[in-house]
Amino acid sequence: MKEAGIRAYRAMEMARAFDTKLSALYKAGKMYGGVFLGRGHEAIAACEAVFLTKGVDVYNPFIREQAGRCAWGYSVLESARSYLGSAEGCMRGRDGNIHWGVPADGNPAPISHLGAMVSVVAGMLIAKRMQGIQDSVAVLNLGDGTTSVGATHEGCNMVAVEKLPVVIVVTNNQFAYSTPNEREFACASLADRGRGYGFTTHECDGTNFLQTLATMQKAVAAARAGQGPQWVVAETLRMCGHGEHDDASYIPAELKAAFADRDPLAVARRQVQEQGWLSAEDVA
């Protein structure tokens, strides 16, 4: 757990620094297209990817999950090339600035809207099964809003029927763009949706680094051990707009205040020191 925790924490720090630079470039008018930051998502993204192996497993993060990409094993250089339209990037400067992936690594380029990726990832695992490849798992991201998309339902039903080793991580950041939870679903918890499909369900506070790390480790290990698909609901707050074009004025002040002391990166910095994994000098 210590080694994975340190790698996940480093990925979070790199992602936050990179996002800060992306925001500055956007505001300076040097970025074309949208910029989508992962502030508030970092612990979830890093902890879900750190237990995967590039080239063996399948990983399909959100477009905003720089922390997940770093924990998976990519440099932020590839994201920078994609955002800046470089022909040296894996997408050769095509398909916008955020929809990039390397299928040969097990990282398919994402399709918007996100529900479409459930069946894509399921197909990748079924292909592995047909080829006799064992011990591969997939981690796939859904947002709270995406769980209401028809393609999500169809894909999740197939994953459950086929008992595929998929971990679906539902990042509940309280808003589907600007639509709050109470206008998205009527069940008590999004975990209920996972149970309805027949998944094993888990819940965690996505702002609590250690809790999130332990939850993701358990879910990935269960999927890899043949225990069927896993559904993880991780609660957080997106600490910025949907994109840098969005001022997030729809987020109530009292909700922002409730999460003011729960910045996942600040929590992780404290926890890795309390655990004795890193010193204050290491963190600095």
In order of 41, 270, 274, the CA distances from 163 in angstroms are 28, 38, 39
Classified as helix, coil or strand, 141 is strand
Classified as helix, coil or strand, 36 is coil
Q: How confident is the model at residue 97 (pLDDT cuts 50, 70, 90)?
A: confident
pLDDT of residue 113: 66
Residue 131: CA atoms inside 13 Å, Cβ hemisphere, count? 10
Number of H helices, E strands in the chain: 11, 7
Q: Is residue 263 over pLDDT 90? A: yes
pLDDT of residue 50: 97
> Are the C-beta atoms of residues 52 and 59 closer than 8 Å to each other?
yes
Tokens of 173: 């950041």
pLDDT of residue 281: 95
pLDDT of residue 117: 95
Q: Is residue 276 over pLDDT 70? A: yes
Distance CA 164, CA 153 (A): 15
- 82/211: higher pLDDT: 211
List of residues 6+ apart from 250 with CB closer than 8 A = 175, 178, 180
| Residue 133 CB neighbours (<10 A) | 11
- Average pLDDT, stretch 263-268? 96
Q: Is residue 175 over pLDDT 80? A: yes
**pLDDT per residue as tens digits for the range 125-135:** 999 999 999 88
pLDDT of residue 96: 75
The one-letter code for the residue type at 137 is V
- Average pLDDT, stretch 174-195? 92
Query: Which of 32-46, 74-88, 92-106, 200-214 has the highest mean predicted lDDT (pLDDT)?
Result: 200-214
To which H or E segment does residue 122 belong?
helix 117-130
Query: From start to end of the chain, where are the E strands?
Result: 58-60, 138-143, 166-172, 175-176, 179-180, 200-205, 230-235
Q: Is residue 95 over pLDDT 80? A: no
pLDDT of residue 106: 95
Closest to 205 measured CA to CA, from 78, 87, 43: 43
Q: Is residue 31 over pLDDT 80? A: yes
- The mean pLDDT of the chain is 94
Distance CA 238, CA 270 (A): 20
Q: Is residue 228 over pLDDT 80? A: yes
Q: How confident is the model at residue 190 (pLDDT cuts 50, 70, 90)?
A: very high
Closest to 122 measured CA to CA, from 161, 86, 89, 149: 161
